[in-house]
Amino acid sequence: MQASIGQARWRMTLDLLISEARIALPDAAGLAARMIDHLAEHDIAFEDRDGLMVAKLPFGTSSLAVEAEALKIRVEANDKGNLEMLRSVVASHVIEFAGDSAPTIVWSGHESNGGTLANFREVRLKAALTLTPHMRRLTFTGDDIARFVNDDDLHVRLYFPPEGLAKPEWPWPAPDGRILWPEPDRRPVTRYYTIRRIDLQSREIDIDFVVHDHAGPGSAFAVNAKAGAICGMAGPLGRGIRP
Ligand SMILES: Cc1cc2nc3c(=O)[nH]c(=O)nc-3n(C[C@H](O)[C@H](O)[C@H](O)COP(=O)(O)OP(=O)(O)OC[C@H]3O[C@@H](n4cnc5c(N)ncnc54)[C@H](O)[C@@H]3O)c2cc1C
């Protein structure tokens, strides 16, 4: 979507991406209060700034304003992937808490990329090396991997598709902001990993996998996957490196 002149200026000065939605809800105030209480249990704290409820998350800012029978939401982030995550947190909770009233959510501003999540890349296993009896170094390769170069946020989420799928299927952003997933039998499982090395020239990403005795999907992938195996990689994620 082409940004308006106002948005373009805003982005130049603050380097922010912004998305807003005004959601019609019969009990907007009640829903906002219940949602804020619930998010506080998940370490997302809203601060009351003269009636505007603002939460700062590691990946951006979300604010809520209650109007008569409507909830106005604004999300801000410096990256499209982060903006999508914020939209998804808000939209999925609004829809959950609204129950039967099933609100329609239409976002304006910096909208979604389309069919794929902005923080997601499909990657392929290039090589695997046994470092120790319980450690395998897997080298992945893929296009457009520069977003994973980040000294603060070293983690990524890997998506392992079920075996036997002719074509892996990945989560995608719905127009209402939620992240939707393939059917259970086609749905990838996800685990967090830490980037050990990334080289943009050779397009390689190394991750060291611990091989657990009772292997789950991640550990099993590290042991069994052959060169060419396809995974998803999303991120970068993390809360910075502590001193
Ligand atoms: C931020 C973050 C970064 C991570 N980075 C890495 C990384 O770089 N490399 C890596 O190998 N893992 C990493 N992990 C752990 C990883 O996400 C998985 O939990 C791990 O690979 C096990 O996944 P699985 O599917 O094999 O096992 P699961 O299905 O999750 O568990 C199956 C069995 O594996 C064993 N197991 C799982 N996790 C552990 C553990 N931590 N210690 C001992 N036994 C365990 C247990 O026996 C468990 O019953 C990270 C986790 C986080 C949260």
The single-letter DSSP state of residue 126 is E
Domain 120-237 CATH class label:
mainly beta
- Fold match between domain 5-109 and domain 120-237: no
Domain ranges of the chain: 5-109, 120-237
To test the pocket of ligand 1, the residue of 198, 208, 210 to mutate (highest count of ligand atoms within 8 Å of its CB) is 210
DSSP 3-state assignment of 173? strand
Q: Which CATH number fits domain 5-109: 3.30.310.50, 2.60.120.10, 3.40.50.300, 3.30.499.10?
A: 3.30.310.50
- What confidence score (pLDDT) does residue 137 get? 98
Asked if the bond preceding 133 is cis, omega within 30° of 0, the reply is no
- What confidence score (pLDDT) does residue 166 get? 87
Q: How many angstroms separate the Cα of 145 from the Cα of each of 1, 26, 97, 200?
A: 23, 44, 36, 7
- What confidence score (pLDDT) does residue 9 get? 37
Max Cα–Cα distance, the chain, nearest Å: 63
135: pLDDT strictly greater than 90:
yes
pLDDT band of 113, cuts 50, 70, 90: low
For residue 127, how far is its CA from the centre of ligand 1 (angstroms)?
21
30-78 pLDDT tens trace? 999 999 999 999 888 999 999 899 999 878 999 999 998 999 999 999 8
Site residues for ligand 1, CB cut-off 6 Å: 155, 191-194, 207-210, 212, 214-219
pLDDT band of 114, cuts 50, 70, 90: confident
197-235 pLDDT tens trace? 999 999 999 999 999 999 899 999 999 999 999 999 999
CA distance 32 to 41: 15
pLDDT band of 112, cuts 50, 70, 90: low
Ligand 1 atom closest to the Cα of residue 211 is 11
